[in-house]
Amino acid sequence: MGFRKVAIVGAGITKFVRRAQETGPEMSYLASKTALDQAGLKLKDVEMITLGSAPDAFDGVHMKGEYLLSGAGGNNKPYIRNFVGGGTGVFAPIHGWMHVASGACDVCLVVCSEKMSSCHPHPQGAFLTIFDHTTEQPLKPTLIWIFALEMRRYMETYGLSKADIARVAVKNKNNALDHPSAQVAEAVTLDDVLNSEVLAEPVHRLDISPASDGAAAVVLASEEVAKRLTDKPVWIDGVGWNLDTAYWATKDLYYPRYVEKAARMAYEMAGITEPHKEIQVAEPYDPFDYKELHHMEGLLLCERGEAARLTAEGFTARTGNLPTCPSGGALGVGNPIAATGLMKVIEIFLQLREEAGKRQIPGKPRVGVAQAWGDLMQVGTVIVLRR
Amino acid sequence: MSFKESIQLNMELSYFEGQIPVNYQYTLGVAGTKFFEALKQKGEFIASVCSHCGLKTIYPLIYCEECFNPIDTYLSIGLEGELYSFTTCYLDYQGNRYDKPHVLGLIRFKGIKGGIIHRLNIDEKDLKLGMKVKAKLKPSKERTGTIDDIMYFEKV
């Protein structure tokens, strides 16, 4: 389609923590500097910058993109913020890809940052106003209500038990024990998850990722520059994004069609016709355990309703046929919204370069997919990477 | 189309009241903590100094905005600066008239990027760009490590 080839040539992540002393710009700097150092570049080599961050109400700073600009190296550069809520972390590198694939620049820095600990007593208060002010806000909903409705519908549609869902939390929290950025890595068992505090049936405490502070960054480069910088470029082979209606009550709660549409867009660009066979490692977005299953199906990595069985059979473990969330995911590493999505992209980048350390999956993977989701529970963002 | 331009108050239409029920606790950050600790404990301003390119910045940063190298050097610069600009304000942020106008200034420090915006306790007729000004701090026992530890800037 006339796009230039674009590679990821460097990546950086801060620790994900409950409350960071660092400000948003300071966290953005730490991730950006690490990514530039890994790429062997200086800020002066960066031509354009794109910054991803979720709602301003989390940090309590309006114009958050501008607030984070200096730490993301954006002073006196073509810099812009991109935003699709929870889908932002995978959309940010897609946005950076646009800059390089179009020929607008050869080197683009992509930065994602979130500081949710500023928001008191809890970020749920900020989430309240994503609901319709006339029909829903008077009921004082929380996000967990929505997810409980979605999880129940998904379970009922495919005859799944809570244990079928909880195995994802067990896998991811244990995987995160090997991630240096992890906030809530834990050697939990199935019983731990099932017996944890009930928040809104069927959702329990350990079914959910935490609120976090953290930042992540990647450096994107055109083919010519990438080949000069590294002998291990990881190519962005396909990108896709799709948004359904913002009124969540109209959607099929058991299946994310918008994720499928985003995935099909990315796969077509990447020349992938049989994703369940061609993709060797995946980072589906997992803010809740059932969402990983939901998203595996939306990403066409398995048949609808099959994801839980594959998880139970070990298919998605690091040693399985299709490892999912080898990083530990949002459930284990933590969930500083935009930074989480980019952390997932970075995990695929590291896996394909065989630089994931203890988290490295066997078999020299060559193709992987990362996906994020969110906004008003109706956006899918998908990126396919290839060695 | 039915834009009801003649309606002056939302309450004349059907409406729901709402709010975003959160408040914020902003951390000072790594460099911010150093600045406000110095202000509270030592009664002085500090700037960050880039050991790679020499850029000095106030408020201090943990990174150099020019060369993007990490910063771990901080320099005391006292309390005295130069008035870069000023304004006299008559309305607060909700549009209410102040009993007494607020005079605000942007103070810069020689050889340092950035500056401090704060109240001026200087007679309006004496205000002049480039004049030397100095921060008047609260007594040390009353300082809490916030920007209000500076009472105002005054003439040197």
Instruction: Write down the ipTM of this complex.
Output: 0.92
Q: What is the DSSP string of A20-41?
A: -SS-HHHHHHHHHHHHHHHHT-
Contact A43 B68 (CB under 8 A): yes
A·B CB contacts under 8 A: 77
Instruction: Return the residue in B14, B19, B27 with the most chain A beta carbons within 10 A, the one to mutate for interface testing.
Output: B27
pLDDT value at residue A164: 98
CB-closest option in A19, A22, A125 to B21: A125
pLDDT value at residue A231: 96
Instruction: Return the residue in B14, B23, B65 with the most chain A beta carbons within 10 A, the one to mutate for interface testing.
Output: B65
pLDDT value at residue A305: 97
Q: With contact defined as beta carbons under 8 Å apart, do A144 and A211 qualify?
A: no
pLDDT value at residue A1: 60
- Dihedral over alpha carbons A174, A176, A179, A182 (to 10 degrees): -130
Contacts of A103 (CB under 8 A, 6+ apart): A4
pLDDT value at residue B17: 82
- Using CA atoms, how far apart are residues A160 and A162, in angstroms rounded to an integer? 7
Give SS3 for A218.
strand
Residues of B at the A interface (Cβ-Cβ below 8 Å)? 16, 18, 20-33, 61-63, 65, 67-68, 70
Q: With contact defined as beta carbons under 8 Å apart, do A183 and A328 qualify?
A: no
Residue among A118, A21, A35, A16 at smallest CA distance from A73: A35
Contact B33 A119 (CB under 8 A): no
* Contact residues, chain B, for A19 at CB < 8 Å: 27
Q: Which residue of A has its CA nearest to B33?
A: A21
Cis peptide before B59 (omega within 30 of 0): yes
pLDDT tens, per residue, chain A with 387 residues:
689 999 999 999 999 999 999 999 999 999 999 999 999 999 999 999 999 999 999 889 999 999 999 999 999 999 999 999 999 999 999 999 999 999 999 999 999 999 999 999 988 898 888 888 888 888 988 889 989 999 999 999 999 999 999 999 999 999 999 999 999 999 999 999 999 999 999 999 999 999 999 999 999 999 999 999 999 999 999 999 999 998 878 888 999 999 999 999 999 999 999 999 999 999 999 999 999 999 999 999 999 999 999 999 999 999 999 999 999 999 999 999 999 999 999 999 999 999 999 999 999 999 999 999 998 889 999 999 999
* Contact residues, chain B, for A20 at CB < 8 Å: 27
Residues in chain B where the model's pLDDT stays below 50: none
CB-closest option in A23, A75, A129 to B32: A23
Partner B contacted by A273 (CB < 8 A) = no
Q: With contact defined as beta carbons under 8 Å apart, do B135 and B45 qualify?
A: yes
Alpha-carbon distances, residue B40 vs B35, B114, B118, B155 (angstroms):
9, 21, 17, 22
* Contact residues, chain A, for B65 at CB < 8 Å: 70, 75
pTM exceeding 0.90: yes
